């Protein structure tokens, strides 16, 4: 999305800060980056297998994060991650970068710099659910996708039963567009899927409002940008 001459959007401001607020940062995965130690993706995969509420036997949140994937085994997921431009969401502790989650583009749509959209996915490790860090990292991750992928619109898809994601992503401007029967598979069966959408200008307004509210509350958790 083109910016007005002389005006830098709030998302571009986050890019200038390398998508970092305090100790929290969204970083494009690159195995050559010292922040990512050998075996980083495998370690992250096994952390996602942990299950906070014991409702998803065996796969942790991978089944919801990769909704529609028939195979969420280690090798299948790592192969997908290696060919996908992952954005790792994490926290710096001294000189060590600790992952809290990730987001990624799943399917690109369109061409050129003005007419690009994509379907995206995300996931957070259970220990960061419902935390301040999760909220800030979600802002940073979505911002990185919009800016680096030059997106006009970001779409999402989820299982119809995934109410937690529905409520959480609404906070950032996502709105449901359609529920399609037999849209994806789960456990070898066709199930309904919900499509949601987030235009860039809507997300910018949401982020600006969050920053303003934090400023008015005189908190230093999300500084004015």
pLDDT digit string, tens, across residues 172-216: 999 999 999 999 998 889 999 999 999 999 999 999 998 888 766
| CATH number for the domain harbouring residue 186 | 3.40.630.30
The tens digit of pLDDT for each residue in 63-82 reads: 899 998 989 999 999 999 99
- % of the chain surpassing 70 pLDDT: 87
Burial of 59 (0-12, 13-18, 19+ CB in 10 A): middle
Would 2 be classed as within a structural domain? no
142 located within any domain: yes
In a domain, 1, yes or no: no
User: Inter-axis angle of helices 200-216 and 132-148, to 10 degrees?
Assistant: 140
Q: Is residue 222 part of a domain?
A: no
The total of structural domains in the chain comes to 1
Question: pTM of the prediction?
Answer: 0.89
**What string of pLDDT tens digits covers the 225 residues of the chain?**
444 555 679 999 999 999 999 999 999 999 999 999 999 999 999 999 865 554 555 677 898 999 989 899 999 999 999 999 999 999 999 889 999 999 999 989 987 667 899 999 999 999 999 999 999 999 999 999 999 999 999 999 999 999 999 999 999 999 999 999 999 998 889 999 999 999 999 999 999 998 888 766 655 555 544
Question: 211 is in which domain, residue-wise?
Answer: 10-216
């Amino acid at each position: 999305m083109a910016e007005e001459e002389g005006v830098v959007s709030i998302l571009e401001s986050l890019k200038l800060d390398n998508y970092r607020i305090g100790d929290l940062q969204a970083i494009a995965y690159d195995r050559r980056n010292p922040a990512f130690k050998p075996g980083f993706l495998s370690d992250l995969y096994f952390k996602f297998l942990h299950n906070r509420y014991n409702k998803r036997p065996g796969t942790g949140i991978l089944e919801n994060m990769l909704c529609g994937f028939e195979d969420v085994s280690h090798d299948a997921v790592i192969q997908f991650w290696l060919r996908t431009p992952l954005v790792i969401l994490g926290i710096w502790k001294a000189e060590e970068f600790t992952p809290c989650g990730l987001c990624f583009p799943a399917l690109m749509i369109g061409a050129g710099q003005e007419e690009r959209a994509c379907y995206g996915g995300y996931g957070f490790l259970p220990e960061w659910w419902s935390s301040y860090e999760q909220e800030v990292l979600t802002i940073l991750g979505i911002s990185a996708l919009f800016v680096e992928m030059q997106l006009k619109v970001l779409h999402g898809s989820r299982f119809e039963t995934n109410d937690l994601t529905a409520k959480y992503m609404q906070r950032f401007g996502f709105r449901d567009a359609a529920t399609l029967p037999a849209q994806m598979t789960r456990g070898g069966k066709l199930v309904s899927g919900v499509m949601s959408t987030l235009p860039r200008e809507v997300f910018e307004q949401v982020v600006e409002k969050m920053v303003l509210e934090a400023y008015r509350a005189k908190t230093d958790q999300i500084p004015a940008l």
